[in-house]
Amino acid sequence: AIKDELEDLEKAGINVIQIDEAALREGLPLRKSEHSFYLKWAVHSFRITNCGVKDTTQIHTHMCYSNFNDIIHSIIDMDADVITIENSRSDEKLLSVFREGVKYGAGIGPGVYDIHSPRIPSTEEIADRINKMLAVLETNILWVNPDCGLKTRKYEEVKPALNNMVAAAKQLRTKLASAK
């Protein structure tokens, strides 16, 4: 069903599609002896869902609240073009594994602000978070995005937060371009 949906989205002209990850952490069996089989199955399931799309269609995935160290090779094997992760509460602690683990050119979008809070982060605050991420990740793989979906927030909270996020990204792109 998901595979059919992806193909329909692509036919409709959508060329960036996010598929939430295949429960790598959430479904992981408690018995370590079952981890390998489960992770191979989950990765295979994820890849089957997007095997029919064109190479020009970007496949994004998202993972929330996780420690990725022991599943990084499965994340790599998923072969998503971009992974977005919850990051605003972890202070970039989760990022080093992606710098070490990303070997196929995948992008990473660590959340730059906490969508579970009604607080609207300033442009400067978001720019500071992005700079901290750039101390760990290379500019060519960093995507700027909120932590997760925005369904828990009201429009009055979402719009200014996203405006500040876009302003911070533009500000840093300009700064990085002038430094070259």
Per-residue pLDDT of the chain (180 residues; tens, 9 = 90+): 899 999 999 999 999 999 987 788 889 999 999 999 999 999 999 999 999 999 999 999 998 867 788 898 899 899 999 999 988 887 777 787 877 655 656 899 999 999 999 999 999 999 999 999 999 888 988 999 998 888 889 999 999 999 999 999 999 999 999 987
**Residue 70 located in a structural domain:** no
Q: Which domain holds residue 93?
A: 81-180
- Element spanning 20, H or E: strand 16-20
- Same domain assignment for residues 24 and 90: no
**Residue 146 located in a structural domain:** yes
| Residue of 35, 44, 73, 116 with catalytic role | 116
**Residue 75 located in a structural domain:** no
**Residue 148 located in a structural domain:** yes
**Residue 63 located in a structural domain:** no
- How many structural domains compose the chain? 2
Helices (H), the chain: 2-11, 35-50, 72-78, 96-101, 123-134, 155-179
Q: Is 116 among the catalytic positions?
A: yes
**Amino acid present at 30:** L
- Same domain assignment for residues 46 and 105: no
**Residue 94 located in a structural domain:** yes
- Same domain assignment for residues 160 and 120: yes
- Same domain assignment for residues 39 and 4: yes
- Same domain assignment for residues 52 and 111: no
- Same domain assignment for residues 106 and 150: yes
- Same domain assignment for residues 100 and 164: yes
Eight-state DSSP code of residue 132: H
What's the pLDDT at 104?
52
**Residue 74 located in a structural domain:** no
**Residue 119 located in a structural domain:** yes
What's the pLDDT at 98?
76
What's the pLDDT at 11?
96
What's the pLDDT at 105?
65
- Same domain assignment for residues 112 and 174: yes
- Same domain assignment for residues 28 and 96: no
Q: Of 42, 57, 72, which closes a domain? A: 57
